[in-house]
Amino acid sequence: MELNNQSYQIQGLEMIELTKKYGTPLYVYDGEKILSQVKLLQEAFSSVDLKIKYATKALSNINILKLLKKAGTGIDAVSIEEVKLGMHAGFEPSEIMYTPNCVSFEEIQDAVELGVMINIDNIPMLEHFGKVYGNSVPICVRLNPHIMAGGNAKISVGHIDSKFGISILQLKHILKVVEAYGLNVIGLHVHTGSDILEAEVFLKGAEILFDAAREFRDLKFLDFGGGFKVAYKEGDISTNILDVGQKVSAAFKQFCLEYGRKLELWFEPGKFLVSESGYLLVRTNVIKSTPASTFVGVDSGLNHLIRPMMYDAYHGVVNISNPTGEQHIYSVVGYICETDTIAADRKMNDVKEGDIIAIRNAGAYGFSMASNYNSRLKPAEVLILGGKDYLIRERETFEDILKHQIDIGL
């Protein structure tokens, strides 16, 4: 979003006008930003055979998936529903990586039937898979390298007592199962968590992956997961993607030389591709002053954006109705009956009732984690592409709240 002629705009469209046209609360995505993030990643890894598998769970509107398909990515899906959504959006099964955790074997069988790449996350499932499919279906194995990384315990998934992946300490056990059933392992995967800043963390993960990879002869790819950090605050540092690209590519090429074959290098970014593209636009219902704070109460809350409450995430807030006003300190809070502080003690230009607040970095894990808590409706979503706005999801109606309820006639 840019400030042009005293109004906040995305691709030349005034954000305030979008809220007049579509109402609030409203999710708005800058499609060009998503495309430029894809390009950035492709350029950073231009010296290797990079495959991007967009982490669908970050933002799963089919139009976003189609946009990414056009940009040349595949997807990572963590549920059979995401697999089906990806196929509905036009992805070939071969472009879909299915990375489930603690799902039933039946669900894995459904995914095999759909023809997607299966990423196996635990030893019992590996054995089960071997018994049923032997070497007839190629698979990837998810390893847990036990690297503590990431911004928050809830999004750090690589540590020793994490439920994700098969411990690298159990590599011998994995190899036994692979040998016993003649499993055709063509990929190895690590995903250490979100908000990884340093090339060094990726390199550490890479070294562990390379060591394990030497034990498998038929690999076609190594998958380094997602987790690139993006800037949420002004002055925040984001992952230096060019630095990561250079260092990881160099180490990867060296490994391929040793391995004797060129492999594909996969990444599964979610946040990196869509976080900064998204804004949640909300309307100020009330300004409430207490002796301690001035609250800006808005027409949204943890039902639409749970990250501030769930992960203590920082989301920038801007009063787009008053681009030039004097600054004061406010706390932006939601309308849910629960403490749902969206932003505490922030500077914003003088806020009046009715003003529209833009909440930044709402592209990733925003709408996809939204709920109907307090029987509220989920917002509409708008995609901006080529300077035009497209409604890509209708605002829910009261009928949606009743839709699956069964009145037993009491």
Ligand X SMILES: *Cc1c(COP(=O)(O)O)cnc(C)c1O
Please identify which residue in 33, 51, 69, 191 interacts with ligand X, judged by CB under 6 A.
191
What would the x/- binding string for ligand X be over residues 269 to 298, using CB under 6 A?
Answer: xxxx--------------------------
Q: Which is nearer to ligand X, 55 or 305 (CB)?
A: 55
Contact 153, 196 (CB under 8 A): no
Q: How far is the CB of 228 from ligand X (least distance, A)?
A: 6
Give how far Cα 265 sits from Cα of 52, 61, 245, Å. 9, 26, 11
First to last CA, the chain: 52
Q: Which is nearer to ligand X, 99 or 144 (CB)?
A: 99
d(CA 289, CA 291): 7
d(CA 362, CA 26): 11
Tell me which residues in 192-211 interact with ligand X (CB under 6 A): 194
In the annotation, is 337 catalytic? Answer: yes
What would the x/- binding string for ligand X be over residues 21 to 60, using CB under 6 A?
Answer: ----------------------------------x-xx--
Q: Which is nearer to ligand X, 100 or 316 (CB)?
A: 100
- Secondary structure E strands in 37-89: 50-55, 74-77
Q: How far is the CB of 55 from ligand X (least distance, A)?
A: 3
Q: How far is the CB of 365 from ligand X (least distance, A)?
A: 7
Q: How far is the CB of 42 from ligand X (least distance, A)?
A: 16
Q: Which is nearer to ligand X, 225 or 334 (CB)?
A: 225
Q: How many helices, marked H, and strands, marked E, lie in the chain?
A: 12, 21
Q: Which is nearer to ligand X, 69 or 271 (CB)?
A: 271
Amino acid at 396: E
DSSP string, 197-251: --HHHHHHHHHHHHHHHTT-SS--EEE----B----STTPPPP-HHHHHHHHHHH
Q: Which is nearer to ligand X, 77 or 357 (CB)?
A: 77
Annotation-wise, does 396 bind a ligand? Answer: no
Window of 204-212, 268-276, 366-374, 385-393 that interacts with ligand X by CB under 6 A: 268-276
d(CA 324, CA 7): 9
Please identify which residue in 13, 78, 141, 306 interacts with ligand X, judged by CB under 6 A.
78
Please identify which residue in 82, 95, 268, 381 interacts with ligand X, judged by CB under 6 A.
268
- Secondary structure E strands in 23-133: 26-30, 50-55, 74-77, 96-98, 117-120
d(CA 123, CA 102): 11
Q: How far is the CB of 276 from ligand X (least distance, A)?
A: 12
Helix (H) or strand (E) holding 298: strand 294-298
Amino acid at 114: L
Angle at 326 between CA 323 and CA 330, to 5 degrees: 90
Q: How many residues bind ligand X (CB under 6 A)?
A: 18
Q: How far is the CB of 226 from ligand X (least distance, A)?
A: 3
Tell me which residues in 220-239 interact with ligand X (CB under 6 A): 225-228
Tell me which residues in 355-394 interact with ligand X (CB under 6 A): 364
d(CA 366, CA 271): 10
Q: Which residue is catalytic, options 102, 140, 256, 337?
A: 337
Kindly state the tokens that stand for 106: 């039946």
Angle at 133 between CA 127 and CA 139, to 5 degrees: 75
Annotation-wise, does 227 bind a ligand? Answer: yes
Q: Which is nearer to ligand X, 335 or 367 (CB)?
A: 367
| Sequence ranges of the binding site | 227, 307, 311, 338, 365
| Sequence ranges of the binding site for substrate | 307, 311, 338, 365
**Catalytic residue IDs:** 337
Residue ranges that bind ligand X, judged by CB under 6 A: 55, 57-58, 76, 78, 99, 191, 194, 225-228, 268-272, 364
| Sequence ranges of the binding site for pyridoxal 5'-phosphate | 227, 365
